[in-house]
Amino acid sequence: MTSAPGLMGFWITALIILVATVEEAQMNKVRTPDILFPPACPKMTNLKNICELGQYRPRYPDKSLPLTGYSDLRRRANAINRLESWYDICCHEQNAPPDSQILCCAEQAWKQALSQFCVEEYSTMSAAYECCEYKNVARWTCFDSDLPNPDYDKKPDYIAPNMPREPGFTFNSDAC
């Protein structure tokens, strides 16, 4: 037969072990970044922020993402990184084109980055992002709704890390 003080000691020890285990698990837990996705479609009303505040919007280097799992977040992060890189081409690597040309370039970059995102979504065994299920105008309308940062505002106290240039985008001025 077990005595009451012995049983109480057992439960106190079990509780201490449980608390220590939970605290250790929380310390080792990788914090997943809050990825601002989907990005808003470029418009004249947000174009200035797209071009002038790019270095103050989040980027997602590989080291900021969990090493395993969360592949959907990784694809979203890659799409944002790609798009911001291509916005830089539109805003800063042309010989001072009019805003209408910059906007056209930014729209092309947005559509191409999200199209590539959808291709990557369908290359996995998991369910694709909802907007990828649509085609043409319906897809773009879907991506341009329920936006976390429609005006491309900067993130307070943030400066984007240097990221490598993302290949694969060439502005087609004839499509404007």
**pLDDT average, residue stretch 38-63:** 97
Q: 76: domain range?
A: 46-168
Give me the number of domains the chain comprises.
1
Determine, yes or no, domain membership for 173.
Answer: no
Cβ atoms within 10 Å of 160's Cβ, excluding its own: 18
**pLDDT average, residue stretch 16-32:** 50
Determine, yes or no, domain membership for 65.
Answer: yes
pLDDT at 11 over 90: no
Determine, yes or no, domain membership for 136.
Answer: yes
Question: Model-level pTM?
Answer: 0.81
Determine, yes or no, domain membership for 16.
Answer: no
**pLDDT average, residue stretch 12-32:** 51
Determine, yes or no, domain membership for 133.
Answer: yes
List alpha helices for the chain, DSSP H: 4-28, 44-52, 71-92, 99-122, 136-143
**pLDDT average, residue stretch 37-65:** 96
Determine, yes or no, domain membership for 128.
Answer: yes
Of the candidates 67, 101, 60, the one whose C-alpha atom is nearest the C-alpha of residue 83 is 60
Task: Please write the tens of the pLDDT for every residue from 127-160.
Answer: 999 999 999 999 999 999 999 999 999 999 999 9
Determine, yes or no, domain membership for 26.
Answer: no
Instruction: Give the separation between CA 42 and CA 48, rounded to whole angstroms.
Output: 10
- Average pLDDT value for the chain: 87
Residues 6+ apart with CB under 8 A from 72: 126, 129
**pLDDT average, residue stretch 84-109:** 91
Residues 6+ apart with CB under 8 A from 77: 33, 35, 60, 64, 65
- With 0-12 / 13-18 / 19 or more C-beta atoms within 10 angstroms meaning exposed / middle / buried, residue 81 is buried
Residue carrying structure tokens 């980027």 = 59
Determine, yes or no, domain membership for 127.
Answer: yes
